[in-house]
Structure 1
Amino acid sequence: MTDLRRAARLLRERVDGEVRFDAGSRAAYSTDASNFRQVPLGVVIPRTIDAAVDTVAVCHELGLPIVPRGGGTSLAGQCTNEAVVIDFTKHCHRLLSVDADRRRCVVEPGIVLDDLNRQLAPTGLRFGPEPATHPNCTLGGMIGNNSCGATAQRTGKVVDNVVSLDVLLHDGTRFRAARLSEHEYDAVAGRTDRVGEIHRALRRLRDQHGDLIRTRYPRIPRRVSGYNLDSLLPEHGFDVAGLLVGSEATLVTVLAAELDLVPVVRARTLVVLGFGSIGEAADAVPHIVEHEPIALEGVDQYLIRDQQVKGMNPDALAELPEGTGYLLVQMGGEDADEADRRAEQMLRALGTTDHAPDVAFYDDPAREHELWQVRESGLGATAHVPGKPDTFEGWEDSAVPVDRLGDYLRDLRVLYEEFGYAGDTGPSLYGHFGQGCVHTRVPFDLYSTEGVAAYRRFLERAADLVVSYGGSLSGEHGDGQTRGELLPRMFGDEVVGLFEVVKGLFDPDDLMNPGKVVHPAGLDEHLRLGGRWAPKRLRPLAFGFPDDGHSFTQAANRCVGVGKCRQLTHDGGSVMCPSYQVTREEEHSTRGRARLLFEMLDGHGDGPITDGWRSTEVRDALDLCLACKGCKSDCPADVDMATYKAEFLHHHYRHRLRPRADYATGFLPSAAMVIDRLRLAPAVNRLTSVPALRRIGTRAAGLEDREVPRFAPQTLQRWLRTHRPAREAGRRGTVLLWPDTFTNHFHPEVGVAAVGVLESAGWGVTMPSRPVCCGLTWLSTGQLDVARARVRHTLRELAAHVRDGGLVVGLEPSCTTVLRSDAVELMPDDLDARRVRDHTVTLAELLTGHTEGWTPPVAPAGVSALAQVHCHQHAVLGWDADRDLLERTGIEVERLESGCCGLAGNFGFTAGHGAVSEACAEQVLLPRLRAAGPGTVVLADGFSCRTQIHELDSGGREAIHLAQLLDNLSAERPPGYRTTTDP
């Protein structure tokens, strides 16, 4: 038995990297995006490529198996193993060189595809293959799986775009794998070391079995199954690099890769074709392929329905033509005219066949991007669909010849029906139809022994079906453990025997990702669930978890491993996951935290986390969760880590003392009420403005030493008591303006401005006269008993107003989110909680959706603004109404793709979080503010966002609330005018 303590000690002594054999790290890497789970021995995160070499050397010395890992999104179990995981993504992600003239570059394996292409953008070149996971997949992982994506229609698979690989064997042998001319082969084969031995053996294998390989390998563009023995054939130039691409870390560790690049397509046009069924759409594919589209994707009505149910891509779905099966055909050209012309030629030719479709034609890049999201959202859209059973991988990427695709889809549907997997709701069929590749997720029952047995029988039958069509078990995602056992059905025993020979040449001790592809574990072994999975019962819960059957177990099992939370940018206004973007740590991604929560359930009885709610590993992983709620909207599986964190902390600290910061920030509303009642604001402000006293106070409270927000000398509630309403106020009725703690006690000028705007729009304004709070600070710190009491008090204060149909206007996005979402989740059976949810609106929603005939004030010409949208507004409330309202003022507004500001309520104030908080702000927000013109207005409705900008923006820029902007325009003050004086 391996002495893991000794292994960890030797690795720390000899490797320049982060060596982690702790329970939390092992739990975070226990699975990928597949059905399988194997807890690793440990994790090594090398700081350099040389450190990765040293890692392998120590593992070889100790006889430890290894798994080099990229983005961890593999769908067949390639990235999960009882081995030492080598994660390249945190440090080994450099673009080493670019030769634009030769259209080549050299990269380290941890570089993310989108990051690579961003760096290549000035050259006009890019790496061609682009899987749907392009924001977070790495080149090392793409090479391991021989990835493809929609762009493979034009550029081919990864194997078609790799020039050479710098590879390492488990025994430390390192060499350059490449396509070799006869002269180059003779030089390598003449060596007396292992490199020469391997090349000579590969040449013998090719010469002796070339005809067998040609016979048994399907001649289709999407054959990804098996080792690429065909790359050794003379017609492919004895390409050893090609052989190693797609070997799924079972042969070598890739240390660097030289890649071919392709020119960026200058102009694209998208045509969406609607057909009577997905089979009819597939029948038309061969006729479209003749016109050389750069992408050709298929989507059926079940995928569309899943996205509609989950509220995904609504604008794009509304643009689809008539039909129940769709083809997305993208044409490219040097300019828009050429792309359009090629699309029109394709449509004219298609009209002369028996496959005339309904057509929607797009040449607006923004609209094309939205429609493309319909296809790229496939995996997430088909997971955890309300009203449908859970779906799983297993048969998600088979491929057949394009001229047989329609018949294959029809027969596959029959097979679904035979096994009881088909119905009025799917499963959906979609994929890269231009190359015959079909994606699907099947509602296997992986919770019972009988269901697992049916899963096995189905995969065996499906394998026989695709082979009968001359196809491949895998057309993109690889074999791993899901399909490794089925390879003899596709290739025959003799070719699989050649795979074993190759495995023996490169990895005679079976220490490279054992149990995958060659000598594979059974497709029903190491299941993440399975008939014997028996998670701990964790009750009673504080939240209701209504979308998960009131089960924390189901909530923790939501993550399907797609890894969108690991993307490094905020493209499209996404927020998830700010802590990962700063740390690049798996356990600080939404996915990593979900994995730890899953392991906390200890459903297999052999997991690394055994102490349930008391787990320090889970607590530490959740510590850097900002509770921004970005995952609530951005995660395709609807993981809501902010709620999971609050639930966990509630139980973790139950009947125990909490960290001091939880009391200091959690009870802030109570403290603010006392300070107001005793008129202590001026004294408190004077004390906290003295640096020495502030440092003593923040340290005692467990807080970061940062500027303490100043209490207003008069609260909003006090101001309203003496306020004389405007003459036009009340003609539309009365709204209740919610006096959240932050507006009421710190920034009442925001509320004053809101009252002015509301009254000028014809609304009367009322407000609770007694101190109130929504419970946000107790929610975010997991003090849920107190939070529930506060929410209950709030509901009593609002009940009469909302029962009469009155609207509640929220100004602070985080507090408004509590009224719109958290309160119901905390008290799911409370009718008043639902009424408050349904009657709570933002200021922009009230003015655009409930104030008919009102015209917003118009800004002077040339006014521009930057908008930092609060995370909770992005995730729950939405910003569409704000965008519409701002457009009507004539202001040119740029919504910053900055994600979370980094303060996130109590997060940025808690000791130990300062560096991460500031790093979040430095990603996009602060640099963009520094680059903005001096007259640019900065909009930030969130108190946290305004506070972060106030403290960290070196230019001294101050942000204002939407209410202040509108009030300024009405009063003909400068749009960015801001006052902090006594209202």
Structure 2
Amino acid sequence: MRARHREHGAGTDPALRELEQELRWRLEGEVRFDLYSRMLYSTDASNYQIEPLGVVIPKTYDDVRWTIELAAKHQTPILPRGGGSSLAGQAVGRALVIDTSKYLNQLLEVDPVARVARVQPGIVVNQLNAKLRKYGLMFGPDPASADRATIGGAIGNNASGSHSILYGMTSDHVIAAHTILSDGTEIIFQEFKPDELAARAQLSTREGQLYRDLLALRDRYADAIEREYPRHWRRASGYGLKELLREDVNFARLLASSEGTLAFGLEYTLNLVPRPTRTALVLLQFDDLVLSMEAVPLILECEPSAVELMDGLLISLTRKQPGFASQIAFIQGEPQAILTVEFYGESEAELAAKVERLQQHLTRHGVVQDPIPVFDPARQADVWSVRKAGQGLLMSMRGDAKPIACIEDVSVPVEHLAEYVREILRLVAENGTTAAFYAHASAGCLHVRPLVNLKSVDGVRTMRALTEGALELAIRFGGVMSGEHGDGLARGELNERLFGPTLYRCMKELKAIFDPAGLMNPGKIVDCPPMDQNLRYGPDYRTVDIKTYLSFERDGGFARAIEMCNGAGVCRKLGAGTMCPSYIATRDEKDTTRARANALRAALAGRVLSPQHFTDPRTYEVLDLCLACKACKTECPSSVDMAKIKTEFLAHYYRAHGTPLRARAFGNIHLINRLGSRVAPFANLAARSPLGRLGKRALGVHPERELPRFARVPFDRWFRERPAPAGDAVRGPVVYFHDTFTTYNYPEIGRAAVRVLEAAGYSVTIVERRACCGRPMLSKGLVEGARRLARANVESLAPYARAGIPIVGTEPSCILTLRDEYQDLLPGHPDVEVVARNSFMIDEFLAQQLERGELSLPWREEPGPKVLFHGHCHQKALIGVKPSLAVLRAAGCTVEESGAGCCGMAGSFGYEAEHYEISRKIGAERLFPKVEEQPPDVLIAVAGVSCREQIGHFTGRRPLHLVEVLAARLALAAHPAGVAVRAAAD
């Protein structure tokens, strides 16, 4: 059934309208009851979708207090939410969402001696650990989503992760919690001795009443808890009733695995653990999944810090994903399972001894493998990144059948693990499907993802059959349905059967003690709806068909390309990587890749939105801050290509609303630059005159921005008129694809490229009538124009490519368009593939020869300069920066990669007045400080014009293209023109 679409605020409900008005009057933070905000918060990383009543993004504790008080007044449910990365549907519901991730995200206090930290709920786990690094401490639980999951969410789920055999679960690290109950009462929960608790229970306050009721609950159910509660320690199912039986009770620990159903946490005091000094990994390959599970108890006898599983399906998918394939290149053959065994140690010798002990122990017990020890921290990080990306990598499978979360978190004692896996394989086969296995073998907690199509009636039935079958196995083997992901909407229905009627009744009474009105995230843990309701897809899911401008055949269509976003929220990650630049700047859910996919999917499917919203200006607003950096294509494990999706959307949007002048101008920048270069002195003078300022205002260009100057002698003219190169070309011909900006704005880059290629022994030619690559048009949705340019380029370049002549470029967004977008612009064109296969970035081209031992350049003998290199986003997404670093080092430079994400320019984006400040904030996050801390003698090198302009504008440093740095390193005797290049570099 299609949802009715309430366009404005709280719709027609007078009570909700009154609540919204009161919230707006009282709160400093953001109050969002509009249709789009409700849509954006209607999903998490689960199979479920429920439209909330509204969204509050509090800035202060008083904002939270007022929100809860007013919600209680109006009897409105509330739903605490962090990163929205929950896999079981905990973060969706018909409630008022309170999102703490944007503002209430600080580390408030650290006591390094006591190893304690006080934090706000919205702080991301990895960000907390980054702040704790200087103390040599960290928060022990490490969920795979730690780069975007908040502490509040980790507590709500009782998160754990790979190292739970050392650190236990989040509940083991909660010392105190400053909370607000659903009636507005504030209580600080902490550990009490029995006499202290008895004294507090005598208070005539709400707090006293709560303690009296909890003690009475303990008295009524102590025997049942002792007798019937699951023994397995790795538990996130149900409430932590065992906490009631401790002699020194700490009700703060009850909040772990409560999924926000008991109280709202304002602050948490957490236990910290020492950061490990050194680590080593041992990879064990198995030809049989069950045999690998049989080895786990033996491995645990060697006291590792973690034992993680990746099965054959996950390994296969990783090898197909460009952003992750290289990270497991050392895996040989086609193993059906790999166990990653980790050891901590204080020295390399200690680690080597532990690795040797493991090998001997396995050999002694007949588990003969060819272990792969990994001591290098960078390679270890690669292995962990693949393992932690497991769920997303599995969801990268194309088609309607997906590896869904339904039995993906069952946790059983390790001694039963092999038998459990054998039975799960049988269960999956009986239901006519297959499954992927990964996660925490050391704790008996496996994430099992069966391949199911939830868009069909049979698929939904299969989901229920698999889940109920897994429940029977969990009970049989003394386990629980969730080892860390929680119950949510996926498993909450089963808690009465899992725990039995007595303990389930105890849980319902516990919920009522904390939340008598049932306002805290209702429908989770107890009194849950059926697992097959509220599905994001389901048998009634349909999308409207639209005729696309680009080909989405490889994705199975435009809608399925959008549906590749599974909601895991990797685009919200903070720290390493590029994705998602706009979210990093705004910390707003609206500016994530997930939000953009949600908006388009909701419109096409008529879920919350309607098909008419596909080209609505508010949909445009959701996609507006996408920089088309392509990071999501690589860094998102599901390979959501939002740059391509945005191009398609803009084409439809401008067809509906008309194409703005600015979009046409920037899309045709190659024509503007060609004309400007022909009258360069006048054009440069005019651009910096009052006339130029008027022109910038008319185009919506920010007044502080200066457009690149036009070259008096464009590159192609220089190339035609230059003297014939001295010496013979011993390596054959190469085509230099001279991009628009190199040709008309920065011809020195092209001259440097020619010098380097000729010094390497190549005869350089250019295609005089080559067209613009089309990337500027694609960025503005001008697809038909880009298609004409692509066809012209393919036809002119194909003869060279078919002859095996390399096509080399210096601008990543141009040369890589030939390899990426052309296949979608010209599907089926016989020459597109051969052009793509023979097109290279110049550093990539040289690095390939370097790797083969074929690169022979006359480098100067003296040591080269220190270089800080910043890669272009498209380069990082499609080929990486290793080639750039390799050739700069080969030239004798000492190179450091910036480690920063997007510079924030993104073609025309940073020039546009309304985007200027966001553009600055993106660069200021990591890049600008890194550049500004460099001494004057360190060269700043880049690969793209956007980065060059952005760094120069905001830092005052003049970056060089990396090929300019290479040209400056050529020996003068072999390359007389190197004097000019060296001068430019200096």
TM-score (normalizing by structure 2): 0.95
State the alpha-carbon separation in 1 of the partners of residues 170 and 711 from structure 2.
60
1:176 pairs with one of 185, 188, 192: 188
Whether 2:605 is the aligned partner of 1:597: answer no
Whether 2:234 is the aligned partner of 1:222: answer yes
Give SS of 1:970's match: coil
Aligned pairs (5 A) from 1:449-598: 449-537=457-545, 539-549=546-556, 551-569=557-575, 571=576, 574-598=577-601
The amino acid across from 2:385 in the alignment is Q
Is residue 429–residue 440 contact of structure 1 (8 Å, CA) maintained in 2?
yes
1:52 pairs with one of 49, 57, 64: 64
What's the CA shift for 1:86? 0.7
The amino acid across from 1:873 in the alignment is Q
Deviations 1:47-105 (A, max 9, x none): 11221111111211222111110111000000011211111111101111111111111
Whether 2:246 is the aligned partner of 1:234: answer yes
The amino acid across from 2:551 in the alignment is G
Give SS of 2:71's match: helix
Is residue 575–residue 898 contact of structure 1 (8 Å, CA) maintained in 2?
yes
What's the CA shift for 1:500? 1.0
State the alpha-carbon separation in 2 of the partners of residues 429 and 942 from structure 1.
41
Moved more, 771-780 or 720-729: 720-729
Q: 1:655 to 1:595 in 2, by over 3 A?
A: closer
Moved more, 592-601 or 863-872: 592-601
Which residue in the other structure is 2:10 paired with? none
Is residue 774–residue 791 contact of structure 1 (8 Å, CA) maintained in 2?
yes
Which residue in the other structure is 2:950 paired with? 948
Deviations 1:269-316 (A, max 9, x none): 212223342212211222222333211212222221121132454344
What's the CA shift for 1:834? 2.0
Identity among equivalent pairs (%): 38
Q: 1:159 to 1:321 in 2, by over 3 A?
A: farther
State the alpha-carbon separation in 2 of the partners of residues 733 and 388 from structure 1.
48
Deviations 1:906-925 (A, max 9, x none): 10011210111111111122
Which residue in the other structure is 2:975 paired with? none
Which residue in the other structure is 1:968 paired with? 968
Is residue 298–residue 325 contact of structure 1 (8 Å, CA) maintained in 2?
yes
Is residue 550–residue 824 contact of structure 2 (8 Å, CA) maintained in 1?
yes
Deviations 1:598-629 (A, max 9, x none): 1121344xx13552332222200111111111
Give SS of 2:549's match: coil
What's the CA shift for 1:695? 2.7
Which residue in the other structure is 2:158 paired with? 146
Which residue in the other structure is 1:302 paired with? 313
Which residue in the other structure is 2:300 paired with? 289
Whether 2:680 is the aligned partner of 1:669: answer no
Is residue 659–residue 702 contact of structure 1 (8 Å, CA) maintained in 2?
no
Whether 2:698 is the aligned partner of 1:700: answer yes
Moved more, 382-391 or 171-180: 382-391
What's the CA shift for 1:520? 0.5
The amino acid across from 2:257 in the alignment is G
Is residue 323–residue 877 contact of structure 2 (8 Å, CA) maintained in 1?
no
Moved more, 259-268 or 370-379: 370-379
Aligned pairs (5 A) from 1:103-114: 103-114=115-126
State the alpha-carbon separation in 2 of the partners of residues 731 and 976 from structure 1.
23
State the alpha-carbon separation in 1 of the partners of residues 507 and 399 from structure 2.
43
Q: 1:224 to 1:980 in 2, by over 3 A?
A: closer
2:863 pairs with one of 861, 864, 886: 861
Moved more, 967-976 or 884-893: 967-976
What's the CA shift for 1:189? 0.5
Is residue 23–residue 617 contact of structure 1 (8 Å, CA) maintained in 2?
no
Give SS of 1:837's match: helix
1:428 pairs with one of 432, 436, 439: 436
State the alpha-carbon separation in 1 of the partners of residues 981 and 525 from structure 2.
62
State the alpha-carbon separation in 1 of the partners of residues 804 and 286 from structure 2.
46
Is residue 298–residue 433 contact of structure 1 (8 Å, CA) maintained in 2?
yes
The amino acid across from 1:297 in the alignment is E
State the alpha-carbon separation in 1 of the partners of residues 338 and 672 from structure 2.
59
Give SS of 2:442's match: helix
The amino acid across from 2:564 in the alignment is R
Which residue in the other structure is 1:327 paired with? 339
Deviations 1:435-490 (A, max 9, x none): 10001222112011121112112211111112111111001100001000111221
Deviations 1:545-570 (A, max 9, x none): 23211x1110111111222211122x
Whether 2:923 is the aligned partner of 1:911: answer no
State the alpha-carbon separation in 2 of the partners of residues 413 and 577 from structure 1.
38
Which residue in the other structure is 1:245 paired with? 256
What's the CA shift for 1:771? 6.0
Q: 1:321 to 1:746 in 2, by over 3 A?
A: closer
Deviations 1:927-973 (A, max 9, x none): 111111211111111011111122111xx321111221121111545
Moved more, 13-22 or 362-371: 362-371
Q: 1:310 to 1:388 in 2, by over 3 A?
A: farther
The amino acid across from 2:696 in the alignment is T
Whether 2:897 is the aligned partner of 1:886: answer no
Which residue in the other structure is 1:920 paired with? 922
Moved more, 850-859 or 905-914: 850-859
2:139 pairs with one of 127, 142, 146: 127
Is residue 403–residue 436 contact of structure 2 (8 Å, CA) maintained in 1?
no
The amino acid across from 2:359 in the alignment is L
Deviations 1:727-763 (A, max 9, x none): 3354322222112111111111111111111122221
Moved more, 347-356 or 94-103: 347-356
Which residue in the other structure is 1:689 paired with? 688
Give SS of 2:605's match: coil
Give SS of 2:179's match: strand
Whether 2:29 is the aligned partner of 1:17: answer yes
Moved more, 956-965 or 937-946: 956-965
Which residue in the other structure is 2:214 paired with? 202
Which residue in the other structure is 1:847 paired with? 846
State the alpha-carbon separation in 2 of the partners of residues 655 and 590 from structure 1.
23
Unmatched runs of 5 consecutive residues or more in structure 1 = none
State the alpha-carbon separation in 1 of the partners of residues 254 and 46 from structure 2.
24
What's the CA shift for 1:513? 1.1
Is residue 725–residue 759 contact of structure 1 (8 Å, CA) maintained in 2?
no
State the alpha-carbon separation in 2 of the partners of residues 231 and 978 from structure 1.
71
Give SS of 1:685's match: helix
Which residue in the other structure is 1:611 paired with? 612
What's the CA shift for 1:387? 8.0
Give SS of 2:564's match: coil
1:189 pairs with one of 188, 193, 201: 201
1:165 pairs with one of 155, 158, 177: 177
Q: 1:957 to 1:373 in 2, by over 3 A?
A: same
Give SS of 1:490's match: helix
State the alpha-carbon separation in 2 of the partners of residues 225 and 883 from structure 1.
48
2:372 pairs with one of 344, 350, 360: 360
State the alpha-carbon separation in 1 of the partners of residues 171 and 71 from structure 2.
29
Q: 1:655 to 1:42 in 2, by over 3 A?
A: closer
Aligned CA-pair RMSD: 2.0
Deviations 1:776-822 (A, max 9, x none): 11100111122212222222322332233322111110011211111
Which residue in the other structure is 2:415 paired with? 403
Deviations 1:300-353 (A, max 9, x none): 222211211324543442334775322211111233322333333343333322
What's the CA shift for 1:669? 1.3
State the alpha-carbon separation in 1 of the partners of residues 760 and 398 from structure 2.
40
Q: 1:53 to 1:931 in 2, by over 3 A?
A: same
How many residue pairs get matched?
A: 964
Unmatched runs of 5 consecutive residues or more in structure 2 = 1-12, 973-977
